[in-house]
Structure 1
Amino acid sequence: MNSSSDLVVQSTHGHTMGTTWSVRVVLPRELSVQAWRDGIQRTLDLVDGQMSTYQPQSALSRFNRAPAGAWHVLPAECFEVVSHALQLARDSDGAYDPTVGPLVNLWGFGPDGSRGEPPSSQDIANVRERVGWSRLKLDAATRSIRQPGGAYLDLSSIAKGYSVDLLGQYLDSVGLNAWLVEVGGELKGRGWKPDGSPWRIGIERPGAAAGAVERQEQLSQVVSLSDRAIATSGNYRRHFETEGVRYSHHIDPRTGQPSPHRVVSVSVLADHALHADPLGTLMTVLGPERGMAYARSRDLAVMFLLHGPDGLEERLSPAFGEVLAS
């Protein structure tokens, strides 16, 4: 058995799903994390190859192009993610909706490019006819999904979280039981660092450049991630302004309009990144009052960062406060 002095934290990183990933692993000094890098990338490529809307041959893209009435068998991983997304949509009465992609695109936050002014009411009404999670039907026995016609699934609000979990499962399977995994800003940790301390993650305050949090005052809170995942959904980088109105990239699928709340960011802690990732989107759409009521009723660990009259304000659910106190 290795003593703690024989162990070191090693890092590797790369690209996936249009973003970056990084892995930190506790290993004996004589071993290299590079020995597992191909397996790490292969795990991430599996998710990207199934769930990307930018890859025309992905399972998701093929479904999105399918004619009305067609049933599609999905790979097991993709079906798991779609099933969870639709379950959350049902539980939130459509405030979270993985079919919202056409509206996001219409507002200039999708693959068709940005825009500098809101779309017309008629354009919004036309596109909303394609949106609606309840139009989709699943068959768990055959892992199939039915295309009702014009439905466009976008799993960008949940696939990164799932890839974090899957990557953690891969590391566990090859005997690496102390790690910190990050994909596109969603994180999960397992075990402890060589000195016995937990993986600790700072939640960024707006104003720090992406990936450049260097000082304590740029952090809102610091949390332990040993055997826990965190996802943060922010409104402060992707938006546009016109005539003094700020339009966020978080579109409320129930109205077709950007969420009007004073939410700056939402951070969610959960056992699985698959759960934490889409909840950040849902909380942002619901806003601080309804979002916190939803979180309290389900014992979710949620932190809102809000624009207030005197600057930024934090609002924590009881479950999030318990994590900080532990």
Structure 2
Amino acid sequence: MRRVLLPPTISAEPAPAGAGIVDFGGASMGTTWSARVALAPGAMAAGAPLRAASLQAGLQEQLDRVVAQMSHWEPASDLGRFNRAGACTWHALPADFFEVLHYALEVARETGGACDPCAGVLVNLWGFGPTGRHDEAGFVAPAARDVATVRAGMAGRVVALDIPRRRAFQPGGVQLDLSAVAKGFSVDKLAQYLEGQGCRHYLVEVGGELRGAGFKPDGQPWWVALEEPLAPAAAGTGEIAVALHGLAVATSGDYRKYFMQDATRRPHTIDPRSGMPVANALASVTVVHERAMAADAWSTALTVLGPEQGLALAERKRLAARFLRREGNGLREILSSRFQKMLEEE
């Protein structure tokens, strides 16, 4: 059984007559990125190499700017400097950095701290940060007392924002980690750049998170299959293809980045409320949204909240969310009502 997820509204604007697809791509954020753009024949004929080179450079520039501002892997980034700043200091932030931090803090507030950008010290403690990684020789998973000590040190340390002046307050020792939001934001930046260049029909992707608009030259939308922890047949869920027409999709899962400790899976998603990697049997959560940043953030937040609380929040916020919960050797699918409403069987 194949199911398709369709957007609530469909634009009537077709791809340019005689258009062809031009592919772009590169590396960023420790992963790869790609863009497929439907361009009119004139853009692919005389001067096309110059046009293509310009788009390639412009797309890469968008991602380089995100890294320069928000990477916790780059000590020279604006985020790196904020994390090293002294206690009780205010810092003016670049516009994109401020926007992403503001959004991440709002998600933290709405989830009761289940997805908190200020929990970077816990991410590092569990070996998922830039140093002392779990996949390096000599790594030892933290003991309960180590987690308790770190959480006690985080208590009461709040990053406040001065919105009119676009500033953030470093209370001292807070380690920002925007990895649950920044990749999605970078997908949105690629889309915004293409639209600013007059490109209305495209599919952009960074590290598996996607956003699409318009149509392919054959009149079809940009179809993508949802990421699955297991083969659909083994999972017992069936494939879902999404028409990314004015939509973005992001998946958070326990099967990409994790390590085993005493026969227990320790995924890279940390629950800041307990200081522990999530352990709620969720294999993945997929969110479909108009913005990739939102899909990215909410897929992580719902993963931390778990199938019951996560589904309840998805319903309150009318999020299109798909939960896959491990049960025995298979997966149980749980869909939010908005996701179900967009779903059709072929």
Provide TM-score, normalisation by structure 2.
Answer: 0.87
Q: Secondary structure at the match of 1:189?
A: strand
Gaps of 5+ in 2: 1-13
Judge which range, 148-157 or 23-32, deviates more: 23-32
Query: In the alignment, what sits opposite 1:65?
Result: 84
In structure 1, distance between residues paired with 2:337 and 2:237: 24
Query: In the alignment, what sits opposite 1:322?
Result: 341
**Is 1:194 aligned with 2:217?**
yes
**Is 1:9 aligned with 2:9?**
no
Size of the aligned set, in residue pairs, is 319
Per-residue deviation, 1:249: 1.4
The amino acid across from 2:38 in the alignment is V
Q: Secondary structure at the match of 2:326?
A: strand
**Is 1:18 aligned with 2:37?**
no
Per-residue deviation, 1:221: 1.3
Gaps of 5+ in 1: none
Query: In the alignment, what sits opposite 2:192?
Result: 169
The amino acid across from 2:271 in the alignment is D
The amino acid across from 1:174 in the alignment is Q
Q: Secondary structure at the match of 2:116?
A: coil
Q: Secondary structure at the match of 2:242?
A: strand
Judge which range, 170-179 or 54-63, deviates more: 54-63
CA contact (8 A) 2:15 2:201 kept: no
Per-residue deviation, 1:28: 2.3
Q: Secondary structure at the match of 2:239?
A: strand
Query: In the alignment, what sits opposite 2:277?
Result: 258
In structure 1, distance between residues paired with 2:104 and 2:193: 23
CA contact (8 A) 1:205 1:218 kept: no
- Cα gap change, 1:67 to 1:219, in 2 (>3 Å): farther
Per-residue deviation, 1:243: 2.3
The amino acid across from 2:148 in the alignment is A
Per-residue deviation, 1:132: 6.0
- Cα gap change, 1:35 to 1:310, in 2 (>3 Å): same
In structure 2, distance between residues paired with 1:320 and 1:132: 37
CA contact (8 A) 2:282 2:306 kept: yes
Q: Secondary structure at the match of 1:175?
A: coil
In structure 2, distance between residues paired with 1:75 and 1:63: 12
Query: In the alignment, what sits opposite 1:283?
Result: 302
The amino acid across from 1:138 in the alignment is L
Q: Secondary structure at the match of 1:25?
A: strand
- Cα gap change, 1:3 to 1:90, in 2 (>3 Å): closer
Q: Secondary structure at the match of 1:163?
A: helix
Per-residue deviation, 1:311: 1.1
In structure 2, distance between residues paired with 1:50 and 1:274: 16
In structure 2, distance between residues paired with 1:148 and 1:4: 53
Judge which range, 82-91 or 117-126, deviates more: 117-126
Larger RCO (CA within 8 A; separation ≥ 6): 2
CA contact (8 A) 1:130 1:152 kept: no
CA contact (8 A) 1:204 1:219 kept: no
- Cα gap change, 1:134 to 1:179, in 2 (>3 Å): farther
Per-residue deviation, 1:250: 1.2
Query: In the alignment, what sits opposite 2:163?
Result: 140
In structure 2, distance between residues paired with 1:133 and 1:6: 60
Query: In the alignment, what sits opposite 1:41?
Result: 60
CA contact (8 A) 2:285 2:322 kept: yes
Of 227, 232, 237, the residue aligned with 1:204 is 227
The runs of 4+ residues in structure 1 deviating greater than 2 Å are 2-5, 32-35, 115-118, 129-134, 217-220
**Is 1:309 aligned with 2:332?**
no
Per-residue deviation, 1:144: 0.4
CA contact (8 A) 1:188 1:273 kept: yes
**Is 1:114 aligned with 2:134?**
yes
Query: In the alignment, what sits opposite 2:123?
Result: 104
CA contact (8 A) 1:232 1:280 kept: yes
CA contact (8 A) 1:263 1:306 kept: yes
In structure 2, distance between residues paired with 1:39 and 1:295: 35
Query: In the alignment, what sits opposite 2:288?
Result: 269
In structure 2, distance between residues paired with 1:302 and 1:237: 19
Percent identity, aligned pairs only, is 45
In structure 2, distance between residues paired with 1:200 and 1:231: 14
**Is 1:179 aligned with 2:202?**
yes
